[in-house]
A and B are shown apart, each in its own frame.
Chain A
Amino acid sequence: MSRLALSGTTALILLASSGVSLAQEVLRISSWGGGWRDLIAETIAAKFTENTGAEVEFITGGTIDRLNQAQLAAGAPESDVTFTTAHVGWLYQNSGLFEPLDMSRLSNADKLFDQAKISPGHVGVWSYVYTIVYVPDLVPDVRFDSWADLWSPALAGKIGLSDFDPSSIIAATAKMEGLGIEDWRQATDKLKALKPNVRAYFPSDAASEQLISTGETPVQVMLSMMAHQLRDQGIDLEIVIPKEGAVLNMDAIGIMKGTDKLDLAYAFIDAALDPEVQAKIVAIKKGGATVEGVEVPPEVAALPGVFLTPEQWQSEAIYVDPQLRAEKLTEWRTWFSEEMIAN
């Protein structure tokens, strides 16, 4: 009897422990911290946990810090799935850090916009634009219909531009001048002519937010999602989609090479590409979708920078191929530092 009781107890403990290990299965996600982490937790991770029962653990940090960490941990990744920007994703891809994606394992893959199939190792998960944002009270005499309006003498010493990624203003200027992005050097004189209007170059999106909300740089080429967030907080801002289009970027997701949780990683990406999940993301962040079939309230869909179809990408956006951006960034950055910032 006692032997039977012991066997039964042992069996129960084994069963319970196996159940615990299933329930405690954890997928490690590398992402940005703060609001981005919360966004992923509320939307994609919630859906993933609902679908699989597995939990999510976040490893947060800046884009470049996480890229460096991933490079140092190559082959034995510290995370299973990584969020990054589309062009930085190419650095992961070209450095062999991403697992090639088997699209047949993603039930939502057929809904992806063509442009969101970025590389064999990463796909776009949401889009946003860098565009003209301004404080109407502080520039009452200027109307913005085109990128060319940034060159107005009335804006002398009022504009803030990013110093960490000049690709938006370079792409917009090239488009305005009727050039392809590959011919951007033909637009450098035009870019230099903008210098008298530039008051400051901001080193991060957080600094951009600070400078426009205090009125220090009342006109900026700014991340649309951040501008919407400031507007929601009551700051009087106008977001313009210029007639040439706003500069569209994507954040992306990929599976780290060497992960031992491939099935869960695919399930996580599938949750990210679920149209319902994407609709929640669009509603929260006022960005754009990367899959078809995303439905949001009309007032959200009408907001500037909320692009829900590939047609909108064609008609309202300036799209720079992320691979080209990754390859050109050094050249653009160096030119920008030497000719725009330093002089």
Chain B
Amino acid sequence: MTRSSIFYWFVTPAILLALLYAAALSCILVFSLREHVPGSLVVGGWTVENFSFLLRPLLIAVFSDTALICLLTALATLLVGYPIAYALVRVRSSFLRATILIIAITPMFTGEITRTYSWLLVLGNSGFINAALLQLGLIAEPVQMMFTLPAVVLVLVHFTLPIMVIILATAISQIDPAYTKASESLGAGPLRSFWHVTLPLSAPGLIAGIITCFAWTFSAFATPQLIGGGKVNMIGNVVYQIGISSFNFPLAAVLSLAGVLFTIVLVGLMRFALRPLDHIRVG
């Protein structure tokens, strides 16, 4: 078997999946061009009127909120995930490494709904944090954490952390420890070595991690729905609220297409903005 035939075998499933995805998107595109008939699932004639909804202030606000939430989540996940990934790769004890790995990736094994409901019990007015603070006499009234943007970002960070840790750990494990030893032998302290050697060399992981978490968060639905309580909405929530739960499927199709396009454009822009990190050098 030649190299090129092996290549085709490997690529074929991806092509088939891409075709399937394109076919589904085409169906959604067709639906987006049909007229909604109130009180019926049967759609009317052809129209482009549905797309005018994208210019409504609600949609503009939701799209910008979504971008902001995704960016904050990606950056916060990076800050939390990097030390965990670093420890995962560099720690010598295999027991400790296994423990870190289990703690880091456990969130992946619980469903989004379960995870989100458990956060309700932590962040609520009578939840764990408020109960503890009240018990310690540090606050007189519960702190309002639920239904706020920071609470949504916090839970999304929990959601995306395993992805970031896995990507960063892979990147950090590719860095030869000899570089750090060399910098330390030349007089650099651990922090300086990290800043000038490890961090720059893990740049590919940083880029991949930020972009993946950014795109991953875009599809969030249950978390903003339950933790945001309607006060913090992302694109998925609006597709559900205005499109699906009111049976306006042509509008749901328009919003879904706009969401996909918006994600592609933003991820492309992020990739462009992060290009300087590709050329970063150890120094």
- A contacts, CB < 8 Å to B: 64, 67, 71, 88, 90-91, 94-96, 157, 163-165, 199-203, 207, 210-211, 214-216, 323, 326-334, 337-338, 341-342
Contacts and interface: CB of A to CB of B under 8 A. Distances in A.
A94 B40 CA distance: 5
A341 B62 CA distance: 11
Contacts of B244: 64
B42 A94 contact: yes
A203 B225 contact: yes
A71 B41 contact: yes
B61 to A, nearest CB: 6
A216 B36 CA distance: 37
B124 interface: yes
30 contacts: A64-B247, A67-B247, A88-B247, A91-B40, A94-B40, A96-B42, A157-B144, A199-B229, A201-B229, A201-B231, A203-B237, A210-B117, A211-B229, A214-B120, A214-B124, A215-B124, A215-B125, A216-B120, A216-B124, A216-B126, A216-B146, A326-B38, A326-B39, A329-B246, A330-B246, A333-B241, A333-B242, A333-B245, A338-B58, A342-B57
Given A95-B40, A215-B126, A330-B38, A164 B245 contact: yes
Please indicate which of the listed interface residues B42, B225, B240, B245 has the most CB atoms of chain A within 10 Å of its own CB: B245
A329 B121 CA distance: 33
Contacts of B56: 338
A200 B39 contact: no
B218 interface: no
A338 B208 CA distance: 36
Interface string B242-255: 10111110000000
A92 to B, nearest CB: 8
Interface in B115-163: 117, 120-121, 124-127, 144, 146-147
Interface residues of B, number: 37
B58 A342 contact: yes
Given A333-B241, A337-B238, A338-B57, 13 more contacts: A67-B247, A157-B144, A163-B230, A200-B230, A201-B231, A203-B237, A210-B117, A216-B126, A216-B146, A326-B247, A330-B38, A332-B246, A342-B57
Contacts of A327: 38-39
B263 interface: no
Please indicate which of the listed interface residues A88, A328, A338, A341 has the most CB atoms of chain B within 10 Å of its own CB: A341
A200 B246 contact: no
A159 B238 CA distance: 21
A207 B42 CA distance: 31
Interface of B: 36, 38-42, 56-58, 61-62, 117, 120-121, 124-127, 144, 146-147, 225-226, 229-231, 233, 237-238, 240-242, 244-248
A165 B241 CA distance: 9
Please indicate which of the listed interface residues B120, B121, B226, B229 has the most CB atoms of chain A within 10 Å of its own CB: B229
Contacts of A326: 38-39, 247
A84 B247 CA distance: 14
Please indicate which of the listed interface residues A67, A90, A323, A337 has the most CB atoms of chain B within 10 Å of its own CB: A337
Contacts of B238: 337
A64 B245 contact: yes
A71 B38 CA distance: 16
A36 B15 CA distance: 43
A165 B39 CA distance: 14
A329 B247 CA distance: 8
Nearest to A326: B39
Contacts of A90: 39
List the 10 closest A-B pairs by CB distance, nearest first.
A201-B230, A200-B229, A333-B246, A327-B39, A94-B40, A95-B41, A326-B39, A330-B246, A327-B38, A338-B58
B169 to A, nearest CB: 35
A289 B62 CA distance: 42
Contact of B125 (A71, A95, A216): A216
Nearest to B249: A68
B147 A337 contact: no
A202 B126 CA distance: 18
B230 A91 contact: no
Contact of B229 (A165, A202, A329, A333): A202
Contacts of A88: 247
A210 B233 contact: no
B57 to A, nearest CB: 8
A22 to B, nearest CB: 36
Contacts of A157: 144
Nearest to B241: A337
Contact of B147 (A91, A200, A329, A338): A200
Contacts of B127: 214
B231 A200 contact: yes
Nearest to B123: A216
Nearest to A70: B41
A71 B117 CA distance: 32
A332 B62 CA distance: 19
B251 to A, nearest CB: 8
A200 B146 contact: yes
Nearest to B127: A214
Contacts of A200: 146-147, 229-231
B252 to A, nearest CB: 11
A157 to B, nearest CB: 8
Nearest to A216: B124
Please indicate which of the listed interface residues A215, A334, A338 has the most CB atoms of chain B within 10 Å of its own CB: A334
Contacts of B240: 203
A336 to B, nearest CB: 8
A67 to B, nearest CB: 7
Contact of A214 (B39, B126, B231, B241): B126
